Chain A
Amino acid sequence: MTIWDLHVHMSGAPGATPTERMAQLIAFADRMGIERLCVYMGIPWSKDPPPETFRKENDQVLEAIGKFPDRTFGFVYLNPKHVEASLAELDRCVARGPMVGVKLWVAHRCNAAELDPIIKRAGELQAVIFQHTWLKVTGNDPGESTPFDLAELAARYPATPIICGHTGGDWERGIRAIRAHKNLYADLAGSDPVAGYTEMAVRELGPERVIYGSDAGGRSFASQLGKVLGAQISDAAKQLILSGNLRRLITPILQRKGIKA
C-alpha cells in the first residue's frame, strides 16, 4: 500500500539542522514504507508566535523540504492573531513558494472571525488546511480549538475542505462533532493507538473522510500506522486512509504548481 503521512514535525527528530532532522525522519519513514511526509512547524515550537517567529519556523520547513522535494510537502504555519502578517506569509510560502498547505495550531480558537480571511485565501489557493483540535477532559489551552469550534468554521465555508487535527484526541466525541460537516476530515495522528478509533471513524464518516498521520517525531510512525493497519476495515478503506484521501485533497494545488506525485 502507498503511504503518505499527513502530520509530521521536525521537533522530536534527531539532528542539529532542519535538513539533518528531515533526513532522519525520512530514514525512519523508509523503514515503515512511508513515501511522502507533510511537514509543518519548526524548532522550537511556539504556541502563539509573533510574525517573525512563524516566519522563522516556516523558513526552517522551507529549508527541509527544499532538500527533499520528492519526499515532502510543506504546510505554512500561521497565527490568526496576526491576520495581515499571516496572509502575507501564506502568499510568500504557498502562492509564491513551494508549500501546499496551511497549519493552524493553538494560538487562537478557530471559530473566531479572524480565521475567515485566512480560510478564504487558502481556499483560493487550493491549499490543504489543517487545524489542530483537542477535547481534553483535563482542560484545553486557552487558544486551543475543539472539533466543535472547527464545525462552526466549517459551516461558514462548506465548499472548503478542512482537516480536523487529532480528531479532537477524544475521538469518540470528536468524530461525532464533525460528522455532519462533509467538508471536515478526520486526522488520526497524535494520540494513543486505541483500538476502535479507525473503525468508528470509517463507520461514522466514511473511509473517504479519514486520513493517516503520525505526529512524528514526537510520536512514532509505527504506533500511528498501527491504527490503520490493525483496524478491522477493508483493504480499500485502508488505502484511502493511508494515501488516497490526502492525494485527492492535495492534487489540485500540486497540479497548479506543476508538482508531480
Chain B
Amino acid sequence: MTVDFPRRTFLKSSLAVAALATPAARAADSTRAAGLGLVDTNVNLSRWPFRRCPLDEPPALVAKLREHGVEQSWAGTFDGLLHKDLGSANARLAAECRAHGNLLVPFGSVNPKLPDWEQELRRCAEVHRMPGIRLHPNYHGYKLDDPAFARLLTLASERKLVVQLAVVMEDERTLHPLVQVPPVDTAPLVDLLKKTPGVRLQLLNAFRTVRGEPLLRLAAAGAHFEIAMLEGVGSVAGLTKQLPAERILFGSHAPLFYFESAVLKLKESIFTPEQDRAIRSGNALRLRA
C-alpha cells in the first residue's frame, strides 16, 4: 500500500505534542502567550435543574476560566430558567459576580410574560448595572412573534443592553422526560431585528437548530452568535466562511458543558490573526461597548 501521508511532518508534530501535556493545556498556553484574553459570552451560575455540574460552585468555575485565560465571562443564571421570582435570582447573580472581581459579568433574566416585567429590566440596567440580559423564551413559554417580546427588544435597545437569547439549553433528545422544552423558533427574528434599530442581539446555543439560509438571514439582519454548540471538524473556521467573522463570539456553555470543548475548537480551526482576535474577544467587547 502507498503511504501518501507526510510521516516526517507528523512525527515532528507528534514530538512537539509529546513535549506538552494536552491539547487543552497547549490551547491555554497559546492564548496566554499571544496575549489574547478570552471573553466567554455563555456561562451560567447557580444550579442546572437536572444534575450537579462538576464546576457549578463559582470558585471552581472561576478557577477554570482563569486557567484558560478568560478575562471576562458573561454569566446568566440557571435559576432564570424555571424560577418565577427573577428579581431574587438576578440579585443573587449580581452579588455572586461582584464577589469574583471583574471576571464574571452578570446578565440577568427577564421574562416578558411575568407581571410588571419592565421593572425587572429596569433593575438589571439601573440597580445591578448589567450590560445585558438573557432570555429563555422556550422555558418561559412564549414565541418570538409575541408582542411582549417585541416590546422587550425595544426597551432593551433603548437602554443599549445586549440581549442574549438562548435557543436551547441542551440536546432535545436527552431532555428530562417530564420537561420537554422545544428549541426556540427564531423565524420571526429577522423582521424584528429590522424593526428594532440598534438592538444588540446574540443567540446562544443556536447551532443545533439554526443553520443554512435562516442562519445567513439572521446574521445579515445583525444577529451575533457564539460557538458552544457548533459542531463539525474545523467548525469555527467553517463558520467564518458562511458569516462575517464579526458576528461570531466565543462561548463555552460552562459549567453545563466542559469548558475545554469550546476552547479546543479554536485550536482545531485555522484563522487569520484578525479573525482569531475578533472571535476570542474583540467582537464581544465591541458588542458590549
State the A residues within 8 Å of B (CB). 1, 12-13, 19, 23-26, 28, 30-33, 35, 66-71, 98, 134, 136-138, 169-170, 172, 191-196, 199, 216-227, 229-232, 238
Given contacts A192-B171, A193-B261, A231-B258, A70 and B3 within 8 Å (CB-CB): yes
Pick the contact of B257: A170, A193, A220, A221 (CB < 8 A): A193
Of the A-B pairs whose beta carbons lie under 8 Å apart in the complex, a sample of 15, sorted by A's number, is: A26-B5, A32-B23, A67-B4, A134-B173, A136-B173, A137-B172, A137-B174, A193-B261, A195-B255, A219-B231, A220-B268, A222-B261, A223-B261, A229-B22, A229-B264
Which of B230, B235, B255 has the most C-beta atoms of chain A within 10 angstroms of its own C-beta?
Answer: B235
Given A32-B23, A192-B170, A192-B257, output 4 extra A-B contacts at Cβ < 8 Å.
A193-B257, A194-B258, A222-B267, A226-B259
A23 CB to closest chain B CB (Å) equals 8
Contacts of B2 in A (CB 8 A): 66-67
Chain B residue, CB-CB nearest to A200:
B51
Complex CA gap A235/B158 in Å reads 51
Contacts of B259 in A (CB 8 A): 226, 230
Contacts of A33 in B (CB 8 A): 13-14, 17, 22-23, 26
Q: Interface size class for chain B?
A: 35 or more
State the B residues within 8 Å of A (CB). 1-5, 7, 9-10, 13-14, 17, 21-24, 26, 51-55, 170-177, 180, 229-235, 254-265, 267-268, 270
Q: Is the CB of B23 within 8 A of A199?
A: no
Contacts of A169 in B (CB 8 A): 171, 173-174
Given contacts A137-B174, A218-B231, A229-B24, A196 and B51 within 8 Å (CB-CB): yes
A204 CB to closest chain B CB (Å) equals 14
Q: Is the CB of B5 within 8 A of A68?
A: yes
Complex CA gap A195/B267 in Å reads 20
Complex CA gap A176/B230 in Å reads 29
Given contacts A138-B172, A195-B54, A226-B262, A220 and B231 within 8 Å (CB-CB): yes
Complex CA gap A126/B51 in Å reads 39
A4 CB to closest chain B CB (Å) equals 13
Complex CA gap A191/B21 in Å reads 25
Q: Is the CB of A222 within 8 A of B264?
A: yes
Which of B17, B26, B233 has the most C-beta atoms of chain A within 10 angstroms of its own C-beta?
Answer: B233
Q: Is the CB of B173 within 8 A of A137?
A: yes
Q: Is the CB of A220 within 8 A of B173?
A: no
Complex CA gap A216/B234 in Å reads 10
Complex CA gap A170/B177 in Å reads 11
Complex CA gap A199/B53 in Å reads 10
Pick the contact of B3: A31, A69, A222 (CB < 8 A): A69
A40 CB to closest chain B CB (Å) equals 16
Pick the contact of A227: B53, B170, B258 (CB < 8 A): B258
Q: Is the CB of A230 within 8 A of B24?
A: yes
Chain A residue, CB-CB nearest to B24:
A229
Given contacts A66-B1, A137-B177, A195-B258, A229 and B233 within 8 Å (CB-CB): no
Pick the contact of B233: A19, A28, A35 (CB < 8 A): A28
Complex CA gap A24/B235 in Å reads 13
A176 CB to closest chain B CB (Å) equals 14
| Top 4 closest pairs, chain A to chain B, by CB | A226-B261, A230-B258, A222-B264, A230-B260
B155 CB to closest chain A CB (Å) equals 33
Which of A134, A191, A223 has the most C-beta atoms of chain B within 10 angstroms of its own C-beta?
Answer: A223
Chain A residue, CB-CB nearest to B5:
A68
B280 CB to closest chain A CB (Å) equals 15
Chain A residue, CB-CB nearest to B50:
A172
A216 CB to closest chain B CB (Å) equals 5
Complex CA gap A205/B254 in Å reads 25
Pick the contact of B268: A12, A32, A192 (CB < 8 A): A32
Complex CA gap A51/B289 in Å reads 60
Contacts of A170 in B (CB 8 A): 173-174
Complex CA gap A12/B233 in Å reads 8
B58 CB to closest chain A CB (Å) equals 15
Pick the contact of B265: A25, A70, A222 (CB < 8 A): A222
Contacts of B261 in A (CB 8 A): 193, 220, 222-227, 230
Chain A residue, CB-CB nearest to B174:
A170
Given contacts A137-B177, A137-B180, A194 and B260 within 8 Å (CB-CB): no
